[in-house]
Structure 1
């Protein structure tokens, strides 16, 4: 039986902890019904004694208690201020390192990967997180091999998962490793989870960085966002902006994190996604209204960015 420690972090997301407990309780029930010992002993790990008591039926341990765990799970954070969330939970960092050195597996749900990243244990290893937090993660932890499109990753004894429902795919992955594929399949049926989803790119949305004070870059962003259907080259984008091409490209990438051409492509693909979701336009109309003239080029860029074809995206997300 694995002794499992689930961290009650500051600013934890209630849904992610509830999912962990529900799935592991279900696996325990399956194994008991088949005449086996339950595979998981569940413990909640608190930073201090003043934390809430939503989970009274479960054993609660203090971070200061001298316990060893075979599996530790870090839930998602509720906040977008991840740096502050990691700071509030800094006491977990040396504890996680020590548990890992003693042989523990560590798994993270969604943005919980930031806390594991802060330990340094992910350096040089593969990981994922919520797709919309991937840029911030790669900036904070450049030594980690981030696979932003992946739903679940495993690198040795370290596991990470993407956003929201990707936590269920992580839990199924753990069940399969610990209890076998039959238990994982039974759990997938109980929770109505598609086991074969390994990509989360199509859940992302382009959220351009606007919290800066560079007026020149802001002008370029405004130009791209208002004229993405017409502009095709950097020269067209910047013809009314009082600066050289080289200076704009340099400053744009420094401030926004991507080049103006990449920004244009992301803006166009986001426009195409909305048209696919919200309209009944023919594909040729969508391609044209997104700023593309070449259907082949559009499909290639769309699939590379989103992780599926435009038709597959429409079938999955169009409002009925």
Structure 2
């Protein structure tokens, strides 16, 4: 039997990230017993909090934990549920008591630890992700990079798995991580069964197509903000980093260093992301050809544009248009 502790952060937990793993692991237990593969449940599932209960979504829901961290001496797997995106810093502060407990479990019992979506911020606070791969929600990537530069962030990843430390991409992609864990512990047959039962696409390996780039202006560097505004207001033009630094009367080296510190992107990456986001919007909402869209965001090399678009979205421009264009999609 594998003891699983699904952590329930106080106040800011995403409810689905608690219910999802709970239901899937229970379904595995039912399947193994019903098919005669086991006489008892494989997973001993516990909802573990700092306290026994917490209210969510302004009191609309509440979760009643069956244990607190003070009740659990040893667990085999810790799952850190997702927290709400608009209060990550508050969530870390409110749930700080989880951090030494997670570290203790890892150090004393070699417990495996998985973070779901923005639960990665709580996992990062433990230090267990240092110099390891990590995925999280695309909306939190830039803040995560700024806060934890020692962690190797993979924005496109759905699942990371390294030395018993796991993470998942954004929102419901946590389901792919849970199926991944089921496969690891119970084998392919059981993983395929739960993927079919819950209709989870286990072939998904990239979340870039879902990302929306809004720019990163939550910083106080006025010079960098001027550069960002210029880039965003001149999407149709070819913009060079040299041109930007000269217009702001700073050296190119100083500008690049300052820009990356403020936004977690180099100026070139920022230019590319702004242009690709504009291209995505055009592909979603117009009947313009791929070449017309390419020219409208300042590119003239079809091969280079296609390669750049796929790097940031995981799809070719045509595949993206076929999937998301409002005229083409049948809901």
Relative to the length of structure 2, the TM-score reads 0.89
* Counterpart in the other structure of 2:26: 25
Q: In structure 2, which of residues 289, 313, 317 is the aligned counterpart of residue 310 of structure 1?
A: 317
- The yes-or-no answer on 1:194 pairing with 2:208 is no
Contact 2:52 2:66 in 1 (8 A): no
- The yes-or-no answer on 1:47 pairing with 2:50 is yes
* Counterpart in the other structure of 2:7: 7
Decide which moves more: 153-162 or 202-211: 202-211
Q: In structure 2, which of residues 153, 156, 160 is the aligned counterpart of residue 153 of structure 1?
A: 160
Contact 1:161 1:167 in 2 (8 A): yes
Contact 1:224 1:231 in 2 (8 A): no
Write out per-residue CA displacement over residues 83-138 of structure 1, whole angstroms, 9 at most, x where no aligned residue: 22112111111111111121321111011111111111122222211122122222
Distance 1:244 1:168 in 2: 47
Distance 1:114 1:248 in 2: 29
Mark the CA change 1:242 to 1:302 in structure 2 (over 3 Å): closer, same or farther: closer
Relative to the length of structure 1, the TM-score reads 0.92
Distance 2:62 2:94 in 1: 20
Q: Which runs of 5+ in 2 are unaligned?
A: 56-60
Q: In structure 2, which of residues 94, 104, 111 is the aligned counterpart of residue 104 of structure 1?
A: 111
**SS of match in other structure, 1:99:** helix
- The yes-or-no answer on 1:172 pairing with 2:179 is yes
Contact 1:129 1:162 in 2 (8 A): yes
Distance 2:70 2:44 in 1: 19
Deviation of 1:151 (Å):
0.4
Backbone CA RMSD of aligned residues = 2.0
Write out per-residue CA displacement over residues 216-255 of structure 1, whole angstroms, 9 at most, x where no aligned residue: 332222221111202333455567x452453654543333
Q: Which runs of 5+ in 1 are unaligned?
A: none
Contact 2:145 2:264 in 1 (8 A): no
Runs of 4+ in 1 over 4 A off after TM superposition: 235-239, 247-250
* Counterpart in the other structure of 1:275: 282
* Counterpart in the other structure of 2:237: 230
* Counterpart in the other structure of 2:217: 210
The count of aligned residue pairs is 317
Distance 1:216 1:127 in 2: 31
Mark the CA change 1:138 to 1:211 in structure 2 (over 3 Å): closer, same or farther: closer
Mark the CA change 1:108 to 1:249 in structure 2 (over 3 Å): closer, same or farther: closer
Distance 1:259 1:291 in 2: 19
**SS of match in other structure, 1:305:** helix
Write out per-residue CA displacement over residues 139-191 of structure 1, whole angstroms, 9 at most, x where no aligned residue: 22222222221100111211111111211100100111111111110111111
| Equivalent residue runs for 1:133-144 within 5 Å | 133-144=140-151
